[in-house]
Chain A
Amino acid sequence: MTAFALYYARSAREAAREARKAVRKANASEALDRIGDTANLLQACVENDLQHEAVVRARDLVSDVSRYKLRYDRFLDTNSKTRLDEARGQISVISRSLATRGVPATPAEKNRLLRICHEEVVTVLNEESARIVAAIEKEDE
């Protein structure tokens, strides 16, 4: 093999590695965007008193968090897994409450539900996603 061929083989390998890294990072961001969209839909349903739709979205969110945890398991440390379990638990309680009691009647209760959704789920997932992207970058260095 000539030095010329070796050089191109290395470049191709490098390009393939970069492409893989970009795809993994894009996938992690895409998965998070999807969860963010579901959380926004849930918020809209609660604000518009759409009980049935809100229950479906809350259940979607529980499934999304489970899938997310499973998919990025190897990038998550114990603390991250615990936070995701707590987030799933919080949404699960909201889901059951929406199913049995309906959308909260008072603005204060609605705000409390939306605050929990935001603080305990969306914020946690944002932080964990940033960690996952950083871990993917670090792994490929």
Chain B
Amino acid sequence: MPNYDSVIDKLVEKSEAGALPWKPTFNENTFLVALEGEVTFEVTRLEDGGFEFTMKDKDGKKIIDINCHNVPHYAEAYVEDDRYYDKIKRLFEVARVIGLEVDKKLNIAESLLDKL
């Protein structure tokens, strides 16, 4: 199985630096970003608390498809994808903050509260 750590780490790093314009979608728990017409990343928080992360190429084919849950490595239910859980969770949170413009809206809320 290929090692996806490097690409996920870079994605998190660039997202946290504000370099990636994550966008909301019809599913309120899915955010996506396309890069240079070459690759598209998508991250979803699943209803069971897990996360899904995909990378598609320019033809729309899935190159990475990770479905991970918060399962310790010694548990019987543990699968290989679960080792990415912490990273994908962090990626989802930064994608959500960017996609929904959370910081901007928090500032607006604070300004409104200050006026009271």
Contact = CB atoms under 8 A, between A and B. Distances in A.
Contacts of B23: 86, 90
Interface stretch (A11-19, A36-44, A73-81): A73-81
A38 B67 CA distance: 31
Contact of B26 (A79, A85, A112): A112
Interface stretch (B35-43, B73-81, B106-114): B35-43
Contacts, number: 58
B59 interface: yes
A interface secondary structure, majority: helix
B60 interface: yes
A88 B60 contact: yes
Interface residues of A, number: 25
Interface in B5-57: 23, 25-27, 30, 32-38, 40, 42, 56
Interface residues of B, number: 18
A82 B26 contact: no
Nearest to A88: B60
Contacts of A76: 37
B36 A81 contact: yes
A90 B25 contact: yes
B27 A82 contact: no
B58 interface: yes
A62 interface: yes
Contacts of B59: 66, 70
A63 B60 CA distance: 9
B26 A93 contact: yes
A97 interface: yes
B26, B30, B33, B60 interface centre (most CB from chain A within 10 Å): B26
A70 B26 CA distance: 25
Interface in A75-106: 76, 78-86, 88-90, 92-94, 96-97
Nearest to A116: B26
B42 to A, nearest CB: 6
Nearest to A91: B26
Given A62-B60, A78-B37, A81-B37, A86 B32 contact: yes
A89, A97, A113, A116 interface centre (most CB from chain B within 10 Å): A89
Across chains A and B, which 6 residue pairs bring their CB atoms closest together, nearest first? A81-B37, A85-B34, A93-B25, A89-B32, A86-B34, A82-B34
Interface of A: 62, 66, 69-70, 76, 78-86, 88-90, 92-94, 96-97, 112-113, 116
